[in-house]
Chains A and B, each alone.
Chain A
């Protein structure tokens, strides 16, 4: 065995350039594996964070009947006297904020927008003083100022602002139906532009003060939802049960962010499947490279192989020699790949890649607006390292088996 290992490693130095090129192919495969995995994990982590920070919060209370009709955003299926519930939850240490969500028509005028027009919109009425307890919109302001309670002002997402040519100080009209079905129109001044890292939100974001919306829509102290922030390590299921018992109202239901973002999670699952396919492809490409190298190495040494077999070396010992040789390439490639992967991951984690040009117009499911950053995962490096060695070693079996099928006189004649 010692001799076989020694022979295998000496053979590695025989064609140094080829060994290095093949190890390089494995290294690139492993580096790609580490990088792609890091980016996927980073994208997943950032998406979940952006989802909770700008879209779903950690959990949300709705009227029990609201869930079925949530896409129509009915104002009459609401949480009455929301302030009482908010206070109760706050007393118990929860960070909460009420919201009213409604749909309407945004009317654009020729003076401020260059031409007359309208578009369907979704408006979120927030409590400017409490919203930042749960969401993080305050940090995303790029122009103007944040909302003040009771004002006829509105905040707009930067992408939506770009699309309609909105400027600070411009006036928009929102036509909607109030609580009870009456028509209502509101003239609101754009007071701020937010650049929200969540692209879905940034594409459609319109926010106004809850007190203003409440007056216009005649909500009579009702909100359509109460959003709750939980700590990162909270057990969301357990917490939602506690919240449910605290609000003590059978007409209200508590939904976790996973319930609210089930469509995102389904896309994520599909993306994971696709990404795993990419990772498998990377390894198949590396494996084909190794197989080719081993095939060349074995066929160049057919006569040597014939000599070894003539002198009484068993097929299994020959197979082991080539497997050790491939393992050697695998070890070199895996070490190089892990080092390269860690180096490139420093860049991916700290700087990332800007996909803003693509994500601006295409929704890929991830809640990332432009820069995709990676995340460290020690397990991936370990898996990639051992997978590189194991796959390389196994792949060498096929060409060896082929060479061993040749009869000895043919090997010696070659």
Chain B
């Protein structure tokens, strides 16, 4: 489903060139629950950004569902993300002036979905993530865990085949973090959605079906735990 072929990505940090990814090749199949693990600066976020089509690679190729996303232009990438990818962020990134319902429905408003469908799908997904009855609450009135549930609902509401999560539990306490992982895992099993998440937390890695360990921009190990 996702094919990453000899991807190289360098950053310019002042006068220093940072080699974020140094020829990474990887294949991820549909329905996998994959963790991109590694210490800080190993290239986890860079790899997720490249798979998520929000960054440009220097060399190599990335294909998702048979489409060469690495050679798409800006507009095509935007459209591809809108149609196919769900995102969960470490800091939730909810819009503070919108209610939980509106934050989720926002994603559907970008797609050609009827108002009736928007309502049904949003309410269903909020129920799935355990936020029934909290639709009208603004993010400030929700706990960190509840906010991340809204973010998961937002990622899943359009039924994407792939969800990318960058350190989704890093801002949560361990119990809430575990709840979030269980939720993601259950969604992965129930809906068959492919989840790829970055982490450096061993507890989070325990939930992964596959752990791709990065170190200094290279894959150090790739373990399938199923």
Q: Do A and B form a real pair? A: yes
A88 contacts the other chain (CB 8 A): no
B101 contacts the other chain (CB 8 A): no
Verify A311–B81 contact, CB threshold 8 A. yes
Q: Tell me whether A309 and B78 are in contact in the complex, defined as CB-CB below 8 angstroms, given that A408-B55, A409-B55, A412-B89 are known contacts.
A: yes
A313 contacts the other chain (CB 8 A): yes
Give CA–CA (A303, B130) in the complex, Å. Answer: 26
Verify A7–B110 contact, CB threshold 8 A. no
Q: Tell me whether A311 and B54 are in contact in the complex, defined as CB-CB below 8 angstroms, given that A3-B109, A303-B93, A317-B110 are known contacts.
A: no
Give CA–CA (A167, B107) in the complex, Å. Answer: 87
A13 / chain B contacts, CB cutoff of 8 Å: 97
Over the window 1-41 of chain A, the binary record of Cβ atoms lying under 8 Å from chain B Cβ atoms (1 yes, 0 no) is 00100010011011000000000000000000000000000
Q: Which of B77-91 contact A (CB under 8 A)?
A: 78-79, 81-83, 85, 87, 89, 91
Distance between A255 CB and nearest chain B CB, rounded to angstroms: 68
Over the window 282-326 of chain A, the binary record of Cβ atoms lying under 8 Å from chain B Cβ atoms (1 yes, 0 no) is 000000000000000000000110110111111101000000000
A68 contacts the other chain (CB 8 A): no
Distance between B94 CB and nearest chain A CB, rounded to angstroms: 8
Q: Tell me whether A312 and B81 are in contact in the complex, defined as CB-CB below 8 angstroms, given that A10-B98, A408-B54, A412-B89 are known contacts.
A: yes
Verify A10–B97 contact, CB threshold 8 A. yes
Give CA–CA (A307, B107) in the complex, Å. Answer: 11
Give CA–CA (A310, B53) in the complex, Å. Answer: 8
Over the window 47-72 of chain B, the binary record of Cβ atoms lying under 8 Å from chain A Cβ atoms (1 yes, 0 no) is 00100101100000000000000000
Distance between B168 CB and nearest chain A CB, rounded to angstroms: 14
Verify B97–A3 contact, CB threshold 8 A. no
With CB as the reference atom, state the residue of chain A lying closest to B115: A2
Q: Tell me whether A310 and B81 are in contact in the complex, defined as CB-CB below 8 angstroms, given that A13-B97, A304-B95, A409-B49 are known contacts.
A: yes
B106 contacts the other chain (CB 8 A): yes
Give CA–CA (A310, B97) in the complex, Å. Answer: 19
Q: Tell me whether A310 and B110 are in contact in the complex, defined as CB-CB below 8 angstroms, given that A10-B97, A303-B91 are known contacts.
A: no
With CB as the reference atom, state the residue of chain A lying closest to B46: A409
Verify B98–A313 contact, CB threshold 8 A. no
Give CA–CA (A409, B50) in the complex, Å. Answer: 10
B85 / chain A contacts, CB cutoff of 8 Å: 312
Give CA–CA (A310, B77) in the complex, Å. Answer: 10
Q: Tell me whether A311 and B55 are in contact in the complex, defined as CB-CB below 8 angstroms, given that A3-B109, A13-B97 are known contacts.
A: no
B75 / chain A contacts, CB cutoff of 8 Å: 314
Verify B109–A14 contact, CB threshold 8 A. no
Give CA–CA (A309, B55) in the complex, Å. Answer: 12
B41 contacts the other chain (CB 8 A): no
Distance between B89 CB and nearest chain A CB, rounded to angstroms: 7
A407 contacts the other chain (CB 8 A): yes
B96 contacts the other chain (CB 8 A): yes
Distance between A270 CB and nearest chain B CB, rounded to angstroms: 50
Give CA–CA (A309, B52) in the complex, Å. Answer: 11
One of B79, B97, B106 near A14 (C-beta < 8 A):
B97
Verify A312–B55 contact, CB threshold 8 A. no
Most buried by B among A14, A312, A313: A312
Give CA–CA (A313, B87) in the complex, Å. Answer: 13
Verify B98–A7 contact, CB threshold 8 A. yes
Verify A304–B110 contact, CB threshold 8 A. no
Chain B residues with a Cβ closer than 8 Å to the other chain, count: 26
Give CA–CA (A7, B83) in the complex, Å. Answer: 22
With CB as the reference atom, state the residue of chain A lying closest to B97: A10
Distance between A302 CB and nearest chain B CB, rounded to angstroms: 11
Give CA–CA (A312, B78) in the complex, Å. Answer: 5
Verify B95–A311 contact, CB threshold 8 A. no
Give CA–CA (A145, B79) in the complex, Å. Answer: 89
Give CA–CA (A200, B109) in the complex, Å. Answer: 69
Verify A310–B52 contact, CB threshold 8 A. yes
Q: Tell me whether A311 and B82 are in contact in the complex, defined as CB-CB below 8 angstroms, given that A10-B97, A407-B55 are known contacts.
A: yes
A309 / chain B contacts, CB cutoff of 8 Å: 54, 78
With CB as the reference atom, state the residue of chain B lying closest to A10: B97
Give CA–CA (A14, B138) in the complex, Å. Answer: 12
Q: Tell me whether A310 and B54 are in contact in the complex, defined as CB-CB below 8 angstroms, given that A3-B109, A304-B93, A409-B49 are known contacts.
A: yes
B89 / chain A contacts, CB cutoff of 8 Å: 307, 412
Over the window 19-61 of chain B, the binary record of Cβ atoms lying under 8 Å from chain A Cβ atoms (1 yes, 0 no) is 0000000000000000000000000010001001011000000
B109 / chain A contacts, CB cutoff of 8 Å: 3
Verify B97–A314 contact, CB threshold 8 A. no
Give CA–CA (A52, B169) in the complex, Å. Answer: 83
Verify B97–A311 contact, CB threshold 8 A. no
Distance between A413 CB and nearest chain B CB, rounded to angstroms: 9
Give CA–CA (A13, B93) in the complex, Å. Answer: 19
A306 / chain B contacts, CB cutoff of 8 Å: 93
Distance between B10 CB and nearest chain A CB, rounded to angstroms: 14
Q: Tell me whether A310 and B87 are in contact in the complex, defined as CB-CB below 8 angstroms, given that A408-B54, A409-B54, A409-B55 are known contacts.
A: yes
Verify B81–A11 contact, CB threshold 8 A. no
Give CA–CA (A313, B78) in the complex, Å. Answer: 7
A303 / chain B contacts, CB cutoff of 8 Å: 91, 93
List 5 other contacts, CB 8 Å, given A310-B52, A314-B78: A311-B81, A311-B87, A312-B85, A314-B75, A315-B78
Interchain residue pairs with CB less than 8 A apart (12):
A3-B106, A7-B98, A303-B91, A310-B81, A312-B83, A313-B78, A314-B75, A315-B78, A408-B49, A409-B54, A409-B55, A412-B54
Please list the 4 inter-chain residue pairs (A to B) with the smallest Cβ-Cβ separation, ordered nearest first.
Answer: A312-B82, A307-B93, A10-B97, A3-B109
